[in-house]
Structure 1
Amino acid sequence: MSAEATETVGAGIRRLRTARGLTQRDLAQPEYSRTLLAAVEAGIRTPTDDLLRHVARRLDVALDDLRWVRPPGIVDELAGDLAGARQALARGEVDEAEAVFARTRAAAVRYGLPDLACWAGYQTGEARLQRGDMVAAIAAFDELRPSLPDVGAAPRAAVVARRAYCQFATGDAAGAVSALEEALTGARQAGSADAQVRLSSALMYAYLALDWRDRARQVEALARPLLAEVTVQEWVAQFLVVAGQLRRGAAELPEAELMFTDAGKLYEELGLTREVALTRWAHGYVLRRVGQLDGAAAAFDAACTVLDRVGATQDGAGAALELAEVRRRQGDLDEAARLARAAADVCARSHHLECMAEADRLLGLVAAAAGRPADAEVLLDRAVQRYGQLGVMVEVVATCRALGELQLSAGRTADAGRTFRRGLEAARAAR
């Protein structure tokens, strides 16, 4: 590939012509002269589109393959490189995978393959997210924005969805939701099942974080019939994982667990180790909310182990916060605090505002239970501010309740009243 990477169009025509045993006259006539073709092959003349079409037809090659001097099989080769690097990333080989993504993107640009170039750039952003470098990931996704109008619906949806996730995580929930809703409307009009399912999963995730479960269920209902048409099987698994987390009641647990089982099998078949761990995290998420704390702890612990091994630092921090909440409810305050502090450090480095707020609240509740009300108040108040900045009003309400009760138990009625009113205002805003 390296020798052909600098090949000109004329040199490519000469290579293909000689490989077929044709003379310049054989290839050029009757429409064009041998002299013109010789000048093109020598790089003296630039071929017109009509000449390229004629040559491509005579050589039995695709016009764009000729125009971009693509070596035989290059599209499949680059797609295979991307798929292999995607698996390597999921195994934790982040540096190696990112190097392949960069090489593949450069080659795809060289050979005029915008979709493959976009996929490679998107995976670069994914690698940076896996490291927990939110700023670098955002830069990678933003770099792709000018090319999005020229790529297919699926890679465009992937970039929009992941950029919206970053937007949400760093404090602009409203902007993220708006971007996803607009993109999903466009995907529905275009009729792309892949794009609709990918964007639906992202929007369901955002709605779930905002506790807008009715809206999430509506999105799920519209997207679910499309799953059989989706070509990116990773996105089918991702959809099942998010949809499973919408099942919060004990009666829905068997349905959720079936979704997680199916998603896990798909991820295993695809060789995506990190995503299998994220499925376990999702399972624990549901188990905790139906009161099965031991099962939730086991799922979170398994997820944390794998996520730590593959270098998924921010994902690991999120799972650790869930495990910390389980330990707090089980009465193991020291372990809860240890997990939450470690996660808080990771979240601060990655600028993940939602997890920073959750860590503050957890540590505040632990401090309150440990008899340190002053520390608890500082942490809970900061959690309220961060949740408010994020726009997750349901969490503002819950945290204001905890903070107000702490103030009330200390006899600070006026302060408690102000905090409870703050929570009421957030509850009205959440409607």
Structure 2
Amino acid sequence: MAESSPEGARLDDPAEIGRRVLRLRTERGLTQRQLAEPAYTPAYVSTLESGRVRPSEAALRHLAGRLGVGYEELATGRPARLGTELRLRLTDARRALATGAPEDAAAVFRALHEEAAAHELVPEQAAALQGLGDCLLESGDLGEARDCFAAVERLLADEPLPRRVPAIRGRATAHLLTGELRYACYLLETALDELNASGLHDPDALLLLYTASIAPYMDMGAHARAAHAAELALALAPRVSDPALVAHMHRGVARTLIAEGRTAEADASLAKAQELYQHLHIRTELAHCHWMRGYVHAQDGDLASAERELRTARDMLASKRAALFTEQVEVELADVLRRRGRPSEAEALLRPLLGADTGTGGESGAYEDHGDREAEGEGTGGRGNPRDGGPLGAERGAVHAGGAHRLLGLIAEERGDTETAEEHYCAALSLLERSSAAGDLADLCRLLGDLFRRTGRVEAALDAYRTGLGHRAAPGTTTLGPAPATPPL
């Protein structure tokens, strides 16, 4: 570890170098004359040890030889080969994240960051923080994850933009998982425009950004823009050598194919991603492939296969203690269970995700005032939850929290409890309006309108239908600016 130094002092400051020379000389029992001769004088060594002069490279090399240490260690205080050893340990930590629990890997990344920071190794600091941010995304600590990625961007502020793209993508993903879809799109599109405008057409960086933009585009209902991003990603893939990036691209492209009804092609794309992830032993991403294949089967009406794939995904993610992703899969699994005629199982799965007191009575909320009810508080009010990550809600998995309330509303309505159904629909509406998930909002407005119509509230039903049509009319165009420029491929 680094020797202690005054607050804010750099390891290559003259005072720091002087202290190191003095310490090493004393440890070796040398006098200033013995250290200085034959090239320098004892007075020069004394001046250097007091920090009043910055030694030249030649002087440092002479002193390092006399003291029996490497030049870099004397000049910077870093042990020989420290940077190489840290990079090897960072690779091991990445492997631990791929195959094990995120909090275990996070502890390693934190320790590596502290060590790199102590020795002022900026690239290794950034790599450790990037890894820590990825761990926190998996465990659902989204605020801390955003802070990590922002710190990486600050550390690499003077580096070319492609070096900062993984951190930008991480920060955008954290905002996406929180439910801030528009801001996620803004971050990704701004980086794409800057890359293209500056001529930095780095294939890896572009592929990472285009692939990351597919999910927020799809959730916002901007399907045409998502499809265009998928086309560009496919065109970039042959120029990318990192198999993990290519696998992630195939998984993202599959989502646009599903939306277009091309389920066979989507399944083939997922199979390619799955094969790559198996080869790379990346369990979280492999679980995501099972998750999406479950969604493909559900879209095709093969609910038995959908349930099997989603349970596999959930078990894999739960074994890794990837809390947020596990909860999101459970929402989709509950949807399949309800459609298979097992509403009690679905309800038992959903309630712990939103908090212990979800949907238990209270006054029925009218559509006109749902925005003032703080309906999402049903799922986020600090109540107990058996999962380490806490309940889904406005600040954590907002889109899936809305989906969970929607499902609980459907289950309540199917058993004739319209009051509870309305509470859940309004809670879902509040969550999804904050996140601008256009397609889900339109569907929810239809459900709410149908409920109002069946209970005799015609004006409220008409308002709900009009709002739903507004979300459906031009999905995504009211919140997104011009599409990023297309790179020369």
The TM-score, its normalising length taken from structure 1, stands at 0.84
Confirm or deny: 8 A CA contact 2:169 2:188 kept in the other structure: yes
Report how far residue 352 of structure 1 moved: 2.2
Map of 1:185 onto structure 2: 193
Map of 1:83 onto structure 2: 91
Map of 1:130 onto structure 2: 138
Map of 2:449 onto structure 1: 404
Map of 2:470 onto structure 1: 425
Match of 2:290 among 280, 295, 309: 280
Map of 2:431 onto structure 1: 386
User: Superposition pairs for residues 66-215 of structure 1, below 5 Å?
Assistant: 67-151=75-159, 153-188=161-196, 189-215=199-225
Match of 2:315 among 300, 305, 309: 305
Confirm or deny: 8 A CA contact 1:52 1:63 kept in the other structure: no
Map of 1:292 onto structure 2: 302
The residue matched to 1:347 in structure 2 has which SS? coil
Confirm or deny: 8 A CA contact 2:410 2:421 kept in the other structure: yes
Map of 2:27 onto structure 1: none
Amino acid at match of 2:457: R
Match of 2:325 among 297, 311, 315: 315
Report how far residue 406 of structure 1 moved: 1.7
More displaced stretch, 74-83 vs 87-96: 87-96
Map of 1:240 onto structure 2: 250
Partner Cα separation in structure 2 for residue 190 and residue 340 of structure 1: 46
Partner Cα separation in structure 1 for residue 84 and residue 285 of structure 2: 25
Report how far residue 341 of structure 1 moved: 1.8
Q: Deviations over 1:391-420 (max 9, x none)?
A: 112211110111111222223222211111
Partner Cα separation in structure 2 for residue 371 and residue 204 of structure 1: 38
Partner Cα separation in structure 2 for residue 265 and residue 197 of structure 1: 19
Pair 1:178–1:64, CA change in 2 (3 A): farther
Map of 2:380 onto structure 1: none
Structure 2: 5+ residue runs without aligned partners? 6-10, 25-32, 356-390, 478-489
Report how far residue 125 of structure 1 moved: 2.0
Map of 1:252 onto structure 2: 262
Identical residues among aligned pairs (%)? 26
Q: Deviations over 1:194-232 (max 9, x none)?
A: 221221121112112223222112122223333344354
The residue matched to 2:321 in structure 1 has which SS? coil
Partner Cα separation in structure 1 for residue 165 and residue 59 of structure 2: 33
Q: How many residues align?
A: 418
Pair 1:47–1:394, CA change in 2 (3 A): same
Amino acid at match of 1:159: A
Confirm or deny: 8 A CA contact 1:68 1:110 kept in the other structure: no
Report how far residue 250 of structure 1 moved: 8.6
Map of 1:364 onto structure 2: 409
Pair 1:293–1:231, CA change in 2 (3 A): same
Confirm or deny: 8 A CA contact 1:161 1:199 kept in the other structure: yes
Partner Cα separation in structure 1 for residue 279 and residue 37 of structure 2: 50
Pair 1:139–1:249, CA change in 2 (3 A): closer
Amino acid at match of 2:342: D
Map of 1:376 onto structure 2: 421
Match of 1:230 among 229, 240, 249: 240
Report how far residue 164 of structure 1 moved: 1.5
Report how far residue 280 of structure 1 moved: 1.0
The residue matched to 1:190 in structure 2 has which SS? coil
More displaced stretch, 195-204 vs 262-271: 262-271
User: Aligned-residue CA RMSD in angstroms?
Assistant: 3.5
Partner Cα separation in structure 2 for residue 289 and residue 75 of structure 1: 50
Confirm or deny: 8 A CA contact 2:220 2:438 kept in the other structure: yes
Report how far residue 107 of structure 1 moved: 2.5
